[in-house]
Amino acid sequence: MNTSLRLVVRDLACSRSERLLIQGLSFGLGQGEALMVTGPNGVGKTTLLRVLAGFIPHDAGKIILECAEQNASLAQSVHFVGHRDGLRAALTVRENLDLVPAVLGQSGASISDAATALNLKALLDLPVGILSAGQRRRTALARLLVSWRPVWLLDEPTAALDTASQAMVAALISAHIEGGGIVIAATHLDLGVKARELVVQSDGSHVMREASR
Amino acid sequence: MKALFALIHRDLMIASRIGGGAELGVVFFLTLTAIVPFAIGPDQNLLGRLAPAVLWIAALLSTLFGLDRLFQADEEEGVLDQFLLSDTPLELIVLAKCIAHWLTTGLVLSLAAPLLGLMLNLPVEAMLPLVATLLVGTPAITLIGAVGAAVTVSLRRGGLLMAILVLPLAVPTLVFGVAAANAAIVGPTPFGTPFLLLLATSLVALVVCPLAAAAAIRLVRG
DSSP string, A130-192: GS-HHHHHHHHHHHHHHS--SEEEEESTTTT--HHHHHHHHHHHHHHHHTT-EEEEE-SS---
The rounded distance, in Å, linking the Cα atoms of A167 and A84 is 22
Dihedral sign, CA of B210, B102, B57, B22?
Answer: negative
Nearest chain B Cα to A79, which residue? B85
Q: Digits of tens for pLDDT over chain B (222 positions)? A: 788 899 999 999 888 887 656 678 889 999 999 999 999 988 989 999 899 999 999 999 999 888 888 898 889 889 999 999 998 999 999 999 999 999 999 999 999 999 999 989 998 888 999 999 999 999 999 999 999 999 998 887 778 889 899 999 999 999 999 999 988 887 677 888 999 999 999 999 999 999 999 999 998 877
Q: Tell me how close the Cα of B107 comes to any Cα of chain A, in angstroms.
A: 23
CA A175 to chain centroid, in Å, comes to 14
Which site among A81, A88, A136 would you substitute to test the B interface, given the most B Cβ atoms closer than 10 Å to its Cβ?
A: A88
Contacts of A143 in chain B (CB under 8 A): 82
- Could you tell me which of B106, B99, B112, B137 has the C-alpha nearest to residue B12? B99
| C-alpha–C-alpha distance, residues B145 and B107, integer Å | 16
- The answer to whether the CB of B102 falls within 8 A of the CB of B138 is yes
The burial of A204, by beta-carbon neighbours within 10 Å (0-12 exposed, 13-18 middle, 19 or more buried), is given as: middle
Q: Are the beta carbons of B6 and A79 separated by less than 8 Å?
A: no
Cα–Cα dist A124/A134, whole Å: 15
Pairing of strands A78-81, A182-186: unpaired
Looking at chain A, the whole-number percentage of residues with pLDDT higher than 70 is: 95
Q: Is the pLDDT of residue A92 over 80?
A: yes
Q: Give the closest of A53, A88, A98 to B77, CB-based.
A: A88
What amino acid is encoded at B114 in this protein? P
Would you call B77 and A79 a contact, using CB atoms and an 8 Å cutoff? Answer: no
Residue A127 and residue B74: Cβ atoms within 8 Å? no
Q: In what order do the strands lie in the sheet with A5-16?
A: A19-30, A5-16, A60-67
The model's pTM: 0.90
How far apart are the C-alpha atoms of A51 and A106, rounded to whole Å?
Answer: 22
A71: chain B residues, CB-CB within 8 Å: none
- CA nearest to B1 within chain A: A102
Contact of A103 with A75, CB cutoff 8 Å: no
Which amino acid is it at B156?
A: R
Identity (one letter) of the amino acid at B54? V
Which chain B residue has the Cα nearest residue A82? B78
CB pairs under 8 A between A and B: 83
Backbone torsions φ then ψ of A199, nearest 5 degrees: -100, 115
Q: What is the DSSP letter of A92?
A: B
Q: What is the mean pLDDT of residues A109-124?
A: 90
CB B146, CB B210: distance < 8 Å = yes
Angstrom distance (rounded) from CA B143 to CA B91: 12
| Average pLDDT of the residues in A63-90 | 84
Q: How far is CA A89 from CA A95, B77, B92, in A?
A: 11, 8, 23
Of the pLDDT bands very low, low, confident and very high (cuts 50, 70, 90), residue A191 is confident
Q: How far apart are CA B18 and CA B99, in angstroms?
A: 18
Average pLDDT estimate for A142-159 = 91
| Confidence tier at A108 by pLDDT (50, 70, 90) | confident
Distance CA B157, CA A95 (A): 29
Is the Cα torsion angle B108, B110, B113, B114 positive or negative in sign? negative
Residue A24 region, left (φ>0) first, then alpha (ψ -120 to 50), else beta? left
Residue with the bigger pLDDT between A207 and B200: it is B200
Task: Give the Cβ contact number of residue B113 at 10 Å.
Answer: 26
Complex ipTM, two decimals? 0.89
* Euclidean distance between CA atoms B86 and B4, whole angstroms: 11
pLDDT at A213 over 60: no
* Strand pairing class (A34-38; A196-200): parallel
Range with lowest mean pLDDT among A37-41, A123-127, A187-191? A187-191
Please give the backbone phi and psi of residue A97, each rounded to the nearest 5 degrees, phi first. Answer: -70, -30
Give the residue from chain B lying closest to A151, CA to CA.
Answer: B85
Contacts of A53 in chain B (CB under 8 A): 81, 84-85
Q: Are B201 and B169 in contact (CB under 8 A)?
A: no
What does the alpha-carbon distance between residue B222 and residue B216 come to, in Å, rounded to a whole number? 10
Q: Decide: A86 and B79 in contact? Cβ < 8 Å.
A: yes
